[in-house]
A and B are shown apart, each in its own frame.
Chain A
Amino acid sequence: MTAGRRLLWFALALVVAQVLVTVFAGVIAPYDPVGQDILARMKGPSAAHWLGTDQFGRDVLSRIIHGSRTSLLVSAAAVLAALVAGGTLGLVAAFYRGWTDRLVMRAMDVLFAFPVMLLAIGVVAVLGPRTETAAIAIAVVYTPIFARLLRGPALVVCESDYVTGARAAGAGDGRIIFLHVLPNLASVVLVQTSLLLSAAILVEASLSFLGLGTQPPTPSLGLMLADGRNFLMLAPWPAVFAGLAILLLAFGLNLLGDALRDTLDPRLRGQP
C-alpha cells in the first residue's frame, strides 16, 4: 500500500469514527451535556470527568461529543444545500450556455465578491442568530463555489459525444443533465464536498464563537471555546479541548478530501 493510499484510509477511519461518535452521542456521552453539578465546578481531568468540567460543573467530554454533533449536522446540512443549489445552477449554466450561463454565473460572481465570513455574518444579522440561520448562512456562502466548480468540467462533458448521443436518442434536458452529465462529475463533487465540509466546520465554529450561531445552553464547540476563554487561567480545559475537537473534525474531513482528490484524479496529484 502506498503512503498516499494509507493516508486515505487513515482519513476515512478518522472521519467515520467521528461521525459514529456523534450519531451515537446520546449513548456514548458519559453525562448529560447540559446537566450541572455545581459542587464539581471547573475541575481538571479525572477518572470521573475525563476532560474535566466547566464553570457550571458540566462534563466537558459530554459537551464536546454533543457539540460535535451540532457542528457536523449544521455543516452537513449547509454543504448539502449549497451542493444542490450551486450544483444545479452550475450544471444548468453549462448546459444551456448563452444568456442563462452569463446571468447565472454573474449572479454567482456577485455572491463570490463578498468575503466568506462577512457574508455569513450579514445573513445571520438579517435572520437572527440561531443554529439554523448559521446553516443557511454557510449554504449561501458556498453556493457560488459549487456553481463555479461544476460549471467548468460540465462544459467539457456537455460537448462530449455521449451527450450528443443521448440528445439524439431523444433524452430530455433534465435527464441529460442529471443522468449523463452529473455522474461524470462525481469525483469532483466528492472531493469538494469533503473539503468544504471541513471549511464549514470552521465557519460554524467561528460563528458560534462570536455568538452568532448556536445559542446556549445547546452544546456547541464554538460556544464552549468562547465561554472557556473567560475562565482560561482557572480552567483551560473546556476551551482547549473544544478547540481540539474542532480541529480534529476539520482536519479529518480536509485530509479525506485531499486524499480522495489524489486517488480519484491522478492529474491533480500534488496540487493544493
Chain B
Amino acid sequence: MLRRLLLARLLDLAVVLASVSVIVFAMIRLIPGDAVAIMLGANTEVTPDKIAALRAQIGLDQPISVQYLGWISKVLHGDLGTSLWTGKPVLDEIVLHLWPTLQLTVLALVVGAGLAVPAGCVMARLRGGVADAAMRVATVAGLTIPSFWLGIVMILLLAMLAPSLQLLGYVPFWQDPLGCLSRLALPAFALGLPILANLSRLVRSAMLDALGQDYIRTARAKGVPERGIVYRHALRNALIPFVTSVGIMTGYLLGGAIVVEQVFAIPGLGRLILGAIAERNYPLLQATILLVTMGFVVVNFVVDLLYLAIDPRVRA
C-alpha cells in the first residue's frame, strides 16, 4: 500500500517537473517580438549576422520540438547553457548567488517557524474576546508588514542608534561566521516575520483543536501531568498542519528573499535575476527560474513524504 502511494507521488513529481520545464522553456519563445533582437539590443549593435549567430546559439533556428528535446537533455546532463554576456556557464553563476539566498531563506525559516511554536502555545492559553481580537490584529499586522519596508525602517533606526554597526552586504559564513550571521539577522527577521505570524496562528488553532480531543481527556484522566499533555500529546498532533505549511512557506521565502536582498545589498539570487532582466540575459533568467522552482517542488515533495511519515492516517 505504502509502496503504491510512494510510486504515485513520484509519478506526480515527474509530471510536475516535466511540465515546469516546458513552461520555463517556452518563456523565451513567448516574448512578443523578436527575442533575439531584444536581447542583443540591450548591449550591442543589432546586425543580421549577430542575430543569426545568437539564434543558432540558443537553437531558435530549429523546429520547436527539437529545440525542447535538445535543451532538456542538456539540462538533465547539468548543462544549463552559457551566460549571454560573460560566456561563463550559467550554472556557475547561479551556484555563486545561491548560497547567500539559501542562508537567508533557511535563517528566516528558522526564525519564523522556530518562534511560531512557542508563540502559538502561549497564544493557545490566552482566550476570550479581547485577547482574541488583539492577537488577530497583531498576527494580521505581522502578516501584512511589507518585508522590504520593515528592512528599511530597521536600517534607518539602527543607523541612528548605532551608526558604527555594519548591517549591509554579505560575507560567506566560512570566512566570518559571526559577521555573516549578524548581517543576515535583520533581513532574516524581516523575511521571517510573516511566517511567524502565519504559523503561530496555525499552531494556536491546532493546539486548541487538539486540546479539545478525546485522547487529551483520556490522558488527563489517567493522570498525565499538564506539561506532558501539552507537549507530548497536543503539540505533536498540532504540528501536522504545521509541517505542511512550512513547505508552502518555502516558496514565499524564496520570492521574498529576492526583494529583501535588494534592501540589504545581499548578492544573492535576487541580484542575479534582476541583473539578468536588466541586461535581457534570458538564458540565465530561464535557468535560474527553472532551478529555483525545481528546488521548491522537491522541497514540497519531501514535506509531503514527511507528512506521510508523521500522520499514519494519510497512508490509509
Contacts and interface: CB of A to CB of B under 8 A. Distances in A.
Co-complex (A, B): yes
Interface of A: 2-4, 6-7, 106-107, 109-110, 113-118, 120-122, 124-129, 198, 202, 205-206, 209-212, 225, 228-229, 232-233, 236, 239-240, 242-244, 246-247, 250-251, 254-255, 258-259, 270-272
B152 interface: yes
Contacts of B136: 7, 255, 258-259
Interface stretch (B65-73, B224-232, B292-300, B303-311): B292-300
Contacts of A233: 156, 159
- What 7 A-B pairs come out closest when comparing CB atoms? A117-B255, A243-B149, A3-B129, A272-B201, A250-B144, A115-B251, A3-B133
Contacts of A110: 16, 19-20, 23
Quick one: which of A120, A121, A242 has the most chain B CB within 10 A? A121
A239 B132 contact: no
B146 A206 contact: yes
Interface stretch (B26-34, B50-58, B82-90, B170-178): B26-34
B149 A258 contact: no
> Mostly helix, strand, loop or mixed at chain A's interface?
helix
A121 B198 CA distance: 24
Interface string B275-301: 001000010010001001100110010
23 contacts: A3-B132, A113-B293, A114-B296, A115-B254, A116-B251, A116-B255, A117-B256, A118-B254, A120-B255, A121-B277, A122-B289, A125-B27, A206-B148, A209-B262, A229-B152, A233-B159, A240-B152, A243-B149, A246-B146, A247-B146, A251-B141, A251-B144, A272-B139
A149 B24 CA distance: 25
A272 B205 contact: yes
A114 B297 CA distance: 8
Contact of B258 (A4, A121, A124, A129): A121
B255 A122 contact: no
B219 interface: no
B273 interface: yes
A229 B151 CA distance: 11
A239 B31 contact: no
B296 A270 contact: no
Contacts of B205: 270-272
A253 B36 CA distance: 42
Given A7-B133, A106-B15, A126-B31, A232 B140 contact: no
B259 interface: yes
Quick one: which of A117, A205, A232 has the most chain B CB within 10 A? A117
Given A117-B259, A251-B140, A243 B153 contact: yes
Given A115-B292, A122-B289, A202-B144, A4 B16 contact: no
B130 interface: yes
Contacts of B152: 225, 228-229, 232, 239-240, 243
B146 A243 contact: yes
Given A121-B258, A125-B277, A240-B149, 16 more contacts: A110-B19, A113-B16, A115-B252, A115-B293, A117-B258, A118-B254, A125-B27, A127-B32, A232-B156, A232-B159, A243-B149, A247-B141, A247-B144, A251-B140, A258-B140, A270-B132
Interface in B113-144: 129-130, 132-133, 136-137, 139-141, 143-144
A249 B141 CA distance: 11
Contacts of A228: 152
B292 to A, nearest CB: 6
Contacts of B8: none
A122 B27 contact: yes
Contacts of A116: 251-252, 255
Contact of B148 (A107, A122, A209, A240): A209
